[in-house]
Amino acid sequence: MTTLHPPPELRDRTPPDPAGTGSAGREGPRRAGRSGGGARLGRFLRRRPGLVAAVVVVVLVLTAAFVPALLAPGDPAVGDTAQRMLPPGPGHWFGTDHLGRDVWTRVVHGAALSLQATVLAVAVALVVGGLVGLAAGYAGGRLDELLMRGVDVLLAIPAILLSLALITALGFGTVKVAIAVGIAGVASFARVTRAETLRVRRSLYVEAARAVGTRRLTTLWRHVLPNAAGPVTALAVLEFGLAILAVSALSFLGYGAPPPASEWGSLVADGRNYLAVAWWICAMPGLVIAATVLSVNRISRALDGEWGRSV
């Protein structure tokens, strides 16, 4: 049988690509996909200006907490008595206090202490409450009853009163305030984690893992915990704002770091005696606290909405 070969001038020629599926054709959809993703992101941000503003505020607060010298290079504890109680202006954005210290500088440098206590409080509540809810939801039975009755006892006590009782027993200081606020927030995380664990525990993949003999701890770690983490993460962001309020409230009452530390709550307390003559000493730190809490809550709602649509 004779084999036919193409002539030499046609051997190295590639057939035409009318559909444009070559390298240039593939590059076109890639560029269109990138431009389309950027356009979708732009439309998403334009429809949600409140979320964009919230993210900007949170980024500024985090910058103040980690790199305060970038926003306020001065010393928060040093003041000039010749510039006492100056109103907000170009030289002093938030004015000066009764000792001539720049309020903006004190607010910026106080973000580190306030956020340190807030992060520690949320971490304590998340870890302890998450473990309690995970054990109660997955084990069930008497352990579930015992753990959740303890959670009900915590819920029966107002959080601020429970924090005050704990800090009275633990002592004063930023870390003690954070631990007290964290323990007061354990109940919320325990209930949400338990509810999500009960939902995930009835899933087919968890039943399949049990059927093939997977150990309980392995099932919890690989299947239950990752699929129950979404709402708990949204709650952690929401509790971050509530923890800022609680830490600031305890600092306002004098349970936080001693002077001249510039915690946000103590800054508000310093200005309460000068409201009639220098309102900005108290109002400016209070506005920063309010803006931070509202921004965190806005981000939490966005995360909760995205999680709900994904489920």
pLDDT over threshold 90, residue 289 = yes
pLDDT at 178: 92
pLDDT over threshold 70, residue 279 = yes
Phi and psi of 77, rounded to 5°? -95, -5
Confidence of residue 264 (pLDDT cuts 50, 70, 90): very high
What are the tens digits of pLDDT across the range 110-169?
A: 998 899 899 999 999 999 999 998 888 888 788 889 999 999 998 888 888 899 889 888
pTM for the whole structure: 0.77
Average pLDDT over residues 5-9: 53
pLDDT at 108: 93
pLDDT at 222: 74
Average pLDDT over residues 270-282: 89
pLDDT at 119: 92
Percentages helix, strand, coil for the chain (3-state, rounded to 5) are: 75, 0, 25
Residue in 263, 256, 260, 257 with CA at minimum distance from that of residue 114 = 263
- CA angle centred on 287, ends 281 and 292, rounded to 5°: 135
What are the tens digits of pLDDT across the range 194-243?
A: 988 888 877 777 777 777 777 777 777 777 777 778 788 888 888 898 89
pLDDT at 139: 82
113/311: higher pLDDT: 113
Confidence of residue 170 (pLDDT cuts 50, 70, 90): confident
Cα–Cα dist 271/274, whole Å: 5
Average pLDDT over residues 50-77: 90
Question: What percentage of the chain reaches a pLDDT higher than 70?
Answer: 83
Cα–Cα dist 268/286, whole Å: 6
| Backbone dihedral region for residue 26 (phi beyond 0: left; psi -120 to 50: alpha; all else: beta) | alpha
Residue type, 304: D
Provide the mean pLDDT of the chain. 81
pLDDT at 281: 92
Write down all domains in the chain, each with its CATH number in brackets. Answer: 92-310 (1.10.3720.10)
- Residues 6+ positions from 104 with CB-CB distance below 8 Å: 72, 92, 93, 94, 284
pLDDT at 4: 52
